């Protein structure tokens, strides 16, 4: 097995594990009413930039775009560019390419958008 084939195998196993965990969590939330509380909100009483991500993902699984937007509009906006960036990085990983500078900067910009959203959602 070549290095590229091994990296592809590891990537697909990792994606499968993440998908299985995400679907398992969605099942637990929907069927059992059990979800993970936000530790930031519990300690500070404020909404973090990721608050609502579970509701957003559950709404997306049901095709409810307005519900997803209501849960976390910033992550909805970053969903497409984030997915494209992850796919691009996955391709680079499989081919053995290190992350490009523009990739790293794009992640930083996306993190800054989420941080600004987290501050603004608590001020408004």
pLDDT (tens place) for every residue of the chain, 124 residues total: 788 999 999 999 999 999 999 999 999 999 998 888 889 999 999 988 888 898 999 999 999 999 999 999 999 999 999 999 999 999 999 999 999 999 999 999 999 999 999 999 999 8
- Percentage, residues of the chain above pLDDT 70: 100
So what's the pLDDT on residue 35? 84
So what's the pLDDT on residue 22? 93
**Axis-axis angle for helices 73-95, 53-61 (nearest 10):** 80
C-alpha–C-alpha distance, residues 112 and 96, integer Å: 28
Would you state the structure tokens that stand for residue 95, as one six-digit string?
A: 């081919």
Q: Structural domain of residue 47, as residue ranges?
A: 3-123
- Report in angstroms the alpha-carbon separations of 8 from 55, 69, 71, 86: 31, 33, 34, 14
pTM reported for the whole predicted model: 0.82
């Amino acid at each position: 097995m070549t290095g590229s084939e091994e990296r592809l195998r590891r990537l697909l196993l990792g994606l499968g594990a993440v998908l299985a965990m995400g679907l398992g969590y969605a099942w637990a939330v929907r069927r059992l009413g059990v979800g993970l509380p936000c530790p930031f909100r519990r300690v500070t009483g404020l909404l973090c930039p990721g608050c609502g991500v579970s509701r957003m993902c559950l709404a997306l699984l049901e095709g409810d775009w307005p519900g997803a937007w209501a849960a976390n509009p910033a992550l909805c906006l970053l969903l497409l560019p984030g997915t494209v960036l992850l796919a691009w990085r996955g391709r680079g990983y499989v081919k053995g390419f290190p992350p490009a500078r523009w990739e790293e900067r794009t992640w930083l910009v996306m993190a800054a958008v989420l941080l600004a959203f987290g501050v603004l959602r608590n001020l408004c």
